[in-house]
Structure 1
Amino acid sequence: MIPVPLLVCVMGGWCAVYLTDTLLKLSSTHRIRYESWLASRGLMLSPFHVRWQTTMFNRLFAYCARINPRAQYLWFNSGLVFGVVAMLGSVVLLTRTLQQTLAQMTSEDPRMGGQQALQVVIPGVNLPTSQLAYFFIALLLSGVIHELGHAVAALREQVRVNGFGIFVFVVYPGAFVDLFTTHLSLISPTQQLRIFCAGVWHNFVLCVAALAFLFLLPFLLFPVYSTGGGALVTEVVQGSAADGPRGLAVGDIVTGLEDCPVSGVEDWSSCLTRLSHTPQTGYCVPGASLQPSWAHGRAFKRLDGTMDCCSNNSLTDLCFSYMRPPGKNSREREYACMPVRKMVSGTQVCRTDADCVDGHAHVDGICVTPSLENRTRFIRVTHPPNTHMLFVGYPPHLQYAVSLTNFIPRFGFLHLDLPVFLETFCKYVVSLSGALAVVNSVPCFALDGQWMLNALLEATLVTVVTDRQRRELIGFFLLLAGSALLAANVALGLWMVTAR
């Protein structure tokens, strides 16, 4: 569901802006001055929409359009090819996304939601409020680069640019360029196609550039940040299972989860996934240290069928299961309630008793395994030089309890969050710029895809379908289908985000 405070703030803010705008325009004393002030600054207000337009960047666009004309010709021709391919690819991708959404609606498996390539993003709902700055800045940057492509391509084709602007619709920022439509209508369809495809082409290039920067980030930061030495803790959720005196703290470096080494964030995630889907790890302890469960209360079955042998309010003891030593009449599973930190500190992990045989010391240990509820795991987190953090619970809870990074500062004065900021921002740029390239390529009314499709039909069908009205009719039905496809994805995506 959409958070009520966020909805109230957005609606209240826009109502205040629109009410102020209406009162000033109705005022006999302030109307002329107010409208002159808006016009002089290129501002325009309407319900849930404000935009600003200026001509101050026109010289910059003209300068960019004059740089190396031959290279730019090849550049924008490449954009033309990409735009046509992207238009077809976007239809395939949206069709696939719609199928996945419908499958998710009829499925009870919550993991299917993460399989979609495109998802509707609503701040405060499926976008954390702590990352709103990343989202809005990356979205605005993607929009500016998109419109920069249109502006430079238009000037190359001798189409005048009236101005450049930025807008905010509800809470989403964006950019636009105002082209002189008379000039645009006089050039050839191929020239028009180069202009219309330039936006999505530049979004694609920005996406690739952000990906390259993300890939090269460890090398760029190598002089001041090291990688591969573990996962550095940058945040611990207060009150979570990882918080506490013997938990994790900001600045700790996690190097292992049980017998799974951790050299970075990817290892941390993969180790937790592996521990979630494999049987509980055991620990080698000397047989003499075991105490039968009757000394602490008889073993009993939980509701899920698993066994317990410790009192429910014990914070230091844990029930362990093990096979009766072979010296006895039969090998049966027994249970012992033992102080957990004492039993697992400095011991090696095991799966069976055979893993605990020490041929050099001629001392055989016993593999004891924590007896826990289904899907619950006991995990020993290694973060030297501190003692192990002991976690009992559902492994994904541990993953959500801490934020980590691959980058470890080489010097104490360096900020822990700088690489995190760069990584997160690049990921948002990749996602949002790529999404803009896909969505704007869709043959849909009011998007770049509409003009791309019209120009493409004029450039390719003029000799096949000589009647202009028939070509326009073909384009209309194609646009209608593309608009319906995009609308279905958005509507179902909104429903999945807000209603489930």
Structure 2
Amino acid sequence: MDVTTCLLLITVIYCILFFFDTLFKSCAHYPYIKFLHGTGFKIKLFHFQWNTTALNRILVRWGSSHLRFFNVWFALGLYTTLMLLPISVCLILYALFQIITAKGEDLNQNLIVEPIIPGINLPLSELGYYSVTLIFCSIVHEIGHALAAVKEDVHLVNVGVIVLFVIPVAYVNINIEKLTALNPWKTLRILCAGVWHNIVLAFVVFLIYIIMSYAFSTVFYVDNGIYITHVEPNSPLAGPRGLYAGDIITNINDCVVRDEISWTECLVNTWNNKPGFCVTTDLVHSVDESIPIFELPNGAYDCCGPTKKDWLCFEYADNNDGILELPPHMCLPARKVLETSNYFCDLTTQICPNNYHCIYPLLPNATTLLKIKLIQKPDVIYIGHPLDVLHATHVSPYIPRYLFTTPLIADTTMKLLKYIILFSLGLALVNVMPCIYMDGHHITNLLTQIVLKDKVQSRNTITLASIFITLTGTALLLFLCFYSIYTKIL
């Protein structure tokens, strides 16, 4: 089942649940209402909520034991979070500086603050990692608040999970009256505990990531190419001369592929810089079957005619001071050119070894010619958009050393660890920002009161200052998020 079908199925399930929930509630169906109260379920349109008090006793037991350790632990969390607060503000300001000073293309690639949106800058195929990681990081975050509250003798009301369509978020409810009655510094410890737990989680998982990288390197070849795990069946790459699961790619044209990052960079590079090929004069003279060049309806040029489907029109690109050793345009078999060409040329410099000449295919703007080099298999020749190759293939940087191994476990483990590190740090940075509905909102409010209570007599002035800081932080963060989404969509 693909991701789109799965999302449609989830939508249908939500609609059915919402319909029956509304029907039973309107009819005052007692067994159903009793079931909701007993289990803590709440169903709304594309919104599911569950809360319970069953975990309160466990959290109280944890928070009440080892008080000396928790005193030091949450004190460290307080100081670390307070140091992170100005860093998060500086990141927002730096991101705004990027928007003001950088050009559009550079900004789109290097914006330091941007939201992770499935389907825009996160593949929909990795939505499962997104959901699992988010709920795990938010549970660790809320456990921090709960343990700190218990340690300060603040009553826990309940804990629960909210699922907004497919995005789960954990939460903990604590007694607000007892929280506000505490000493401000004790309240800050509780507020900062969630961010502190996310920071510690990211650090611990980072250490695990390093250990697992070393462990997997003993079972898999790493940084020696990429391993094809799946090829979309409807893609042109799935043909008889295309790619198959189990293929190992080492080069795209003259670009060396070592891992997933270099695989993506090589494909993007061939999109931005059309490759040229170095050929000999003898090859061109022996196979050239060109006709007078003419323009096609799609804007490209052709010198082969409609009968030669596997042939391409190439243009002579040598910088030879007007001396033409080859015709300006030539019709050559694409596969033969790429199989015999061991050198590539940059069309800006047009440099080839001695006795070789630079030619490049005349193709539409979004199309390029790729030579995909495989281990122990013939090269794959592909004509099309380079990003179609990226979307049609699923790859792994882990190449099995033995026949009985598969990169599935390594891929799943390492990708999940990466997401936990990124999401945990992201939640820590976002939550500490002075923004509405974030921990930073309450932290900023308390800090403002602590700093200004001896300098400003009017409580209204202190409240207005806190509101101004929070609204400014909220506006800046929302602007950065919407701007990032807008540029990604464009």
- Using structure 2 for the length normalisation, give the TM-score: 0.83
The reply to whether residue 139 of structure 1 matches residue 134 of structure 2 is: yes
What letter is aligned with 1:20? F
Q: Which moved more, 1:165-174 or 1:46-55?
A: 46-55
- Which residue in 2 is equivalent to 1:462? 453
Kindly indicate whether the alpha-carbon contact (under 8 Å) linking 1:323 and 1:332 is maintained by their aligned counterparts in 2: no
- Which residue in 1 is equivalent to 2:76? 78
Kindly indicate whether the alpha-carbon contact (under 8 Å) linking 2:113 and 2:480 is maintained by their aligned counterparts in 1: no
Q: Which moved more, 1:139-148 or 1:47-56?
A: 47-56
Q: Decide whether aligned partners of structure 1 residues 312 and 240 sit closer, same or farther in structure 2, where only a CA change above 3 A counts.
A: farther
Q: Decide whether aligned partners of structure 1 residues 374 and 470 sit closer, same or farther in structure 2, where only a CA change above 3 A counts.
A: same
- Which residue in 2 is equivalent to 1:361? none
**Distance across 2 between alignment mates of 1:412 and 1:321:** 45
The reply to whether residue 199 of structure 1 matches residue 189 of structure 2 is: no
**Distance across 2 between alignment mates of 1:193 and 1:42:** 30
**Partner SS for 1:392:** strand
What letter is aligned with 1:27? C
Kindly indicate whether the alpha-carbon contact (under 8 Å) linking 1:272 and 1:396 is maintained by their aligned counterparts in 2: yes
CA apart distance, 1:323: 8.3
CA apart distance, 1:69: 4.3
What does the per-residue CA deviation read over 1:350-370, in whole Å, with 9 as the maximum and x for residues that have no partner?
A: 54998554xxxxxxx433523
**Partner SS for 1:373:** coil
The reply to whether residue 57 of structure 1 matches residue 55 of structure 2 is: yes
CA apart distance, 1:187: 2.1
CA apart distance, 1:231: 1.0
Q: Decide whether aligned partners of structure 1 residues 400 and 41 sit closer, same or farther in structure 2, where only a CA change above 3 A counts.
A: closer
The reply to whether residue 252 of structure 1 matches residue 247 of structure 2 is: yes
The reply to whether residue 430 of structure 1 matches residue 421 of structure 2 is: yes
What letter is aligned with 1:263? R
CA apart distance, 1:200: 1.7
Alignment of 1:129-278 (within 5 A): 129-278=124-273
- Which residue in 2 is equivalent to 1:318? 312
**Distance across 1 between alignment mates of 2:375 and 2:244:** 12
**Distance across 1 between alignment mates of 2:272 and 2:120:** 30
Kindly indicate whether the alpha-carbon contact (under 8 Å) linking 1:148 and 1:199 is maintained by their aligned counterparts in 2: yes
- Which residue in 2 is equivalent to 1:362? none
The reply to whether residue 373 of structure 1 matches residue 363 of structure 2 is: yes
**Partner SS for 1:250:** coil
Kindly indicate whether the alpha-carbon contact (under 8 Å) linking 1:210 and 1:429 is maintained by their aligned counterparts in 2: yes
Kindly indicate whether the alpha-carbon contact (under 8 Å) linking 2:276 and 2:361 is maintained by their aligned counterparts in 1: no
Picking from 433, 437, 441, the partner of 2:432 is 441
Cα root mean square deviation, aligned: 3.8
**Distance across 2 between alignment mates of 1:220 and 1:100:** 39
**Distance across 2 between alignment mates of 1:288 and 1:492:** 52
**Partner SS for 2:376:** coil
- Which residue in 1 is equivalent to 2:24? 24
Structure 1 unaligned segments of length 5 or more: list them.
358-364
What does the per-residue CA deviation read over 1:63-82, in whole Å, with 9 as the maximum and x for residues that have no partner?
A: 44356544433332232233
Kindly indicate whether the alpha-carbon contact (under 8 Å) linking 1:236 and 1:242 is maintained by their aligned counterparts in 2: yes
The reply to whether residue 414 of structure 1 matches residue 405 of structure 2 is: yes
Q: Decide whether aligned partners of structure 1 residues 216 and 272 sit closer, same or farther in structure 2, where only a CA change above 3 A counts.
A: farther
**Distance across 2 between alignment mates of 1:455 and 1:228:** 50
- Which residue in 2 is equivalent to 1:331? 324
**Distance across 1 between alignment mates of 2:475 and 2:351:** 63
Q: Decide whether aligned partners of structure 1 residues 10 and 234 sit closer, same or farther in structure 2, where only a CA change above 3 A counts.
A: closer
**Distance across 2 between alignment mates of 1:433 and 1:24:** 40
- Which residue in 1 is equivalent to 2:342? 348
Q: Decide whether aligned partners of structure 1 residues 313 and 140 sit closer, same or farther in structure 2, where only a CA change above 3 A counts.
A: farther
Q: Decide whether aligned partners of structure 1 residues 285 and 161 sit closer, same or farther in structure 2, where only a CA change above 3 A counts.
A: same
CA apart distance, 1:384: 1.9
Q: Which moved more, 1:197-206 or 1:469-478?
A: 469-478
What does the per-residue CA deviation read over 1:27-64, in whole Å, with 9 as the maximum and x for residues that have no partner?
A: 35x33x43333222233445654322223333432444
**Distance across 2 between alignment mates of 1:87 and 1:417:** 39
Q: Decide whether aligned partners of structure 1 residues 408 and 45 sit closer, same or farther in structure 2, where only a CA change above 3 A counts.
A: same
What letter is aligned with 2:335? R
What letter is aligned with 2:313? C
Q: Decide whether aligned partners of structure 1 residues 250 and 103 sit closer, same or farther in structure 2, where only a CA change above 3 A counts.
A: farther
Kindly indicate whether the alpha-carbon contact (under 8 Å) linking 1:323 and 1:331 is maintained by their aligned counterparts in 2: no
**Partner SS for 2:280:** strand
Kindly indicate whether the alpha-carbon contact (under 8 Å) linking 1:317 and 1:339 is maintained by their aligned counterparts in 2: yes
CA apart distance, 1:383: 0.3
**Distance across 1 between alignment mates of 2:300 and 2:119:** 40
What letter is aligned with 2:282? G
- Using structure 1 for the length normalisation, give the TM-score: 0.81
**Distance across 2 between alignment mates of 1:474 and 1:323:** 66
